[in-house]
Amino acid sequence: MTTPTVLRGLPLARWIAFAVPAAALGGAYAFQYWGGLFPCEMCWWQRYAHFAALALAALAFVLPGKRALVGLAGLALAVSALIGGFHAGVEYGWWPGITHCTSTVSFTPGQDPMAAIMAAPLIRCDVVQWSLFGVSLAGFNFFLSGAGAAAVFAALVRKG
């Protein structure tokens, strides 16, 4: 049985490089806006790598030099995985973090900015906000992004 062309080599790598950061960012924003879990500083670092991976993968659909763009998207996924692994270690207390706590401030015109700052939630990088089976969101990002990066690189080197 032959594999359809879209599931071979570069096209497969390109779709994985696009789908993984899109799914990760979609999940992150769903947890933020529907679940009320605001990102800490290290969460943002992971998102930045996903933004880069998503943009590079999207460019690989329209520009020449697709292999290099897809490879860079895979590298951005690997970076997000490493940051997620480090962040998970900070959350679990395996090592100290390198950031200070952050806060998300939003206020409407006419509202006292100082009151908005004082009422904003303090988001700590070393506290697990949500977990499933003992794995935090940063831990899930480590697994998802790491597997995505490995799949991108495996598909890039695959013949056919």
5-97+127-157 in CATH: which number?
A: 1.20.1550
- Return d(Cα 44, Cα 106) in angstroms, integer: 17
The token pair at 81 is 């995985």
Residue among 55, 50, 57 at smallest CA distance from 71: 57
Residue among 68, 73, 33 at smallest CA distance from 54: 73
Render 14-53 in DSSP notation, one character per residue: HHHHHHHHHHHHHHHHHHHHTT-----HHHHHHHHHHHHH
pTM of the model: 0.78
pLDDT score of 130:
66
pLDDT score of 103:
58
pLDDT averaged per 10 residues in sequence order, the chain, 160 residues: 54 94 94 86 91 96 87 96 92 79 67 75 70 82 95 84
Domain spans in the chain, listed from the N-terminal domain onward: 5-97+127-157
Return the DSSP state at 6: G
